[in-house]
Amino acid sequence: LRKTSLDEIPQLMNVLIGNMSLVGPRPEIPDVVEVYPEEYKQRLMVTPGITGLAQISGRGEIELGKTVYYDLTYIKNFSLWLDIKVLFKTFSSVFKSEGAF
């Protein structure tokens, strides 16, 4: 399930009820948020998403600092067009099992 990202399907319910969006920074573990440096806290100001720039840029293969970089880049450059590009790249990455383990 993990390799094909099928384990993410239940999160669609969170999208439908408005707790998540399709595209955005992944939700963070509360214990990790407590030790966030101030500049990382921008990630908490947007609705978390099922997929995002970090997920299409390496999925599980990138470290936290790079994940935050991608998330902050997404927030600064947010647009409908960017969301569409991320969604298309997500489908491509999942289909090819890129970065999955």
Residues 101 and 80: their CA atoms lie apart, in Å, by 30
> 21 has which bridge partners?
49
Distances (CA, A) of 53 to 33, 34, 46, 62: 20, 23, 14, 11
Tracing tokens 């101030």 back to the chain, one arrives at 38
Mean pLDDT score of the chain, rounded to an integer?
A: 85
Q: Strand ranges (DSSP E) for the chain? A: 21-23, 49-51
**According to the model, what pLDDT value does residue 4 have?**
62
pLDDT tens by residue, 34-60: 898 988 889 888 999 999 998 888 766
Structure tokens at 99: 């970065």
